[in-house]
Structure 1
C-alpha cells in the first residue's frame, strides 16, 4: 500500500493529503483564518528546529553529500559516492545526506560500511521516498527551509555529485550563503567534471563575464573527478577556513609572523 510520511507521522490510504505542508504554507492568496484556526503551524515550525538541533548537536565534524535520488546502484557515480563517504569516515567525519535513494543511499552506505555515523535528513514530498536502509540517525522534516538550515549548520563542507533541481537548489543555496557571508566560508566540491563543466563554464563566461558576480566568487567552487580528489579538496577547504578563523594567512602564519 502507498504510504506517505509527514514529519513523524505515517499516513496511508485516504489519509494521504493532496498537498504537502510546505505547499500549504507557501500557497498564495490565503486569508488570515489560519492564524486563528491553525495556531499550531508556528509551533510545528519551532518544534522542527528544536528536534533537529537536539538530534544533531553532538554529531561532531560532518560533511554533507548531495546528488540525484534517481542514480541507480549500477551507475558509476553510486560507487563514487560510496567511496567518498568511506574516505570521509576514515578521517573522522560523519556523513550527512538527504536520507533518500540514489546518491544519498550510496553515501549513507559508504559511511556505514566504514563504521562511521550515517545521517539522513528526510523531507515530506508528494511521493514517498522514505529513509534508506543505511541511515543510522534519521530526521524527517516537513519544511524545506528547516532541513536546509540543518545541512548548513552541521556541515563543514558540501560534496555535490550529479543531480537535478533539488541538488542545484542545495548547491546554489550554499554558494549564496557563503558569498553573502551569512555563514563562514566552507568548501563546496563538485564531483564529475563532465557533468558540471558546462555549468561552471556558464558561470564564468556569463555571470563573471557580465559582472553579475565577482571573479573571486569562482574560488568558492572546486571541481574534481575522483574520491581522492574530493577528500583532498574538502580537507584543504576546511583547513583554510580554520586558518581564517584563527587569523592565519595562506601559509599558516599569523599577521605578527608567529
Structure 2
C-alpha cells in the first residue's frame, strides 16, 4: 500500500504509478492536448483529474470569505486597469476577503499584489499553458492545474463574488459560463461585477440589442450581473449580498 499525504489528508493506493499521478507532476504541454493525452490510459487520466481536485480542495478549504478576480494576463503594470485591479483587491482585503486569481500576470498579478500588500490570503490558480501563463510572485498560495474545468470549480466553489476586469477570451469564458450556471440554477447566485464601464458597455449594449431584443434571453437575465467602477461600491454590493439570509 502506497500513501499520498497532503497537508490535511492521507490517501492510500495500491499502485505506485497512481501516486505519481496524484502528486500533481508537472505536465509537458508541447502542443499536446490534455483531453487527448493518449500516453495516459483513460483510468489514469481520471486519477490525474482527481489529484487536481484533491490538491485544490485541500489547499483552499479553510480560506474564509473570498472573491475571484479575473482579467487579462497581458495588461502592463503601468496600465490604469492594472492599478484599478491592485487597488480593488486591496480594498477587498481590508474588508476581510481573500483574493483568488488565475495566478498569472497582468490583471491577475495586480489583484494578487493588492491582496498581498494588505496581508490577506492571495491565491493563484495557475494553469499549464504553452504561452503567456506563468506564476506571479504575489500569490502567497499557488496551485498548479492542467485541466481548465477543475480550475474553474475552484474559482466557483470558494468565491462569494466574481469580479471581472477587462480581459480577452479567457475572461469572457469565465463570465458567460458563470452567468449560464446561475441562470440555469446549477450554482448558487452570487454577485458578478463587471469593472470598467468604458470597456464593457459595448458588450452590454450588444447583449441588450441582440440577445434581449431577439428573445434569446429574458429581461430578468440582465440582473445577473452589475456594471460598476467605484471600489467601495463594488465591495458594498458583495458585502450586502452575502449578509442577506439564505431562504
Q: Distance in 2 between matches of 1:83 and 1:101?
A: 16
Query: What is the CA-CA distance between 1:39 and the residue it aligns to?
Result: 3.2
Q: Deviations over 1:179-224 (max 9, x none)?
A: 1111110000000110000111111121111111110110011001
Q: Distance in 1 between matches of 2:216 and 2:162?
A: 23
Structure 2: stretches of 5+ with no match in the other structure: 1-22
Matched, 1:153 2:163: no
Q: Distance in 1 between matches of 2:194 and 2:166?
A: 8
Q: Distance in 1 between matches of 2:175 and 2:232?
A: 21
Tell me, yes or no, if the aligned pair for 2:162 and 2:192 is still in contact at 8 Å.
yes
Matched, 1:116 2:126: no
SS class of match (1:159)? strand
SS class of match (2:113)? helix
Tell me, yes or no, if the aligned pair for 1:80 and 1:226 is still in contact at 8 Å.
no
Match of 1:206 in 2: 210
The TM-score, its normalising length taken from structure 1, stands at 0.82
Matched, 1:142 2:146: yes
Match of 1:226 in 2: 230
SS class of match (1:41)? helix
Structure 1: stretches of 5+ with no match in the other structure: 1-6, 28-32, 248-258
Q: Distance in 2 between matches of 1:68 and 1:126?
A: 16
Equivalent in 24, 29, 35 of residue 25 of structure 1: 35
Tell me, yes or no, if the aligned pair for 1:193 and 1:223 is still in contact at 8 Å.
yes
Matched, 1:70 2:74: yes
Quickly say closer, same or farther: Cα 1:195–1:26, change in 2 above 3 A.
farther
List structure 1 segments (4+ residues) > 3 angstroms apart after TM superposition: 7-11
After superposing the two structures, state which structure 1 stretch, 158-167 or 218-227, moved more: 218-227
Match of 1:125 in 2: 129
Match of 1:94 in 2: 98
Query: What is the CA-CA distance between 1:26 and the residue it aligns to?
Result: 5.1
CA RMSD of aligned residues (A): 1.9
Query: What is the CA-CA distance between 1:17 and the residue it aligns to?
Result: 4.2
Q: How many residues align structurally? A: 225
Matched, 1:185 2:155: no
The TM-score, its normalising length taken from structure 2, stands at 0.85
Q: Distance in 1 between matches of 2:162 and 2:74?
A: 19
Matched, 1:52 2:43: no
Q: Deviations over 1:82-126 (max 9, x none)?
A: 111111111111000000000000000000101111000000101
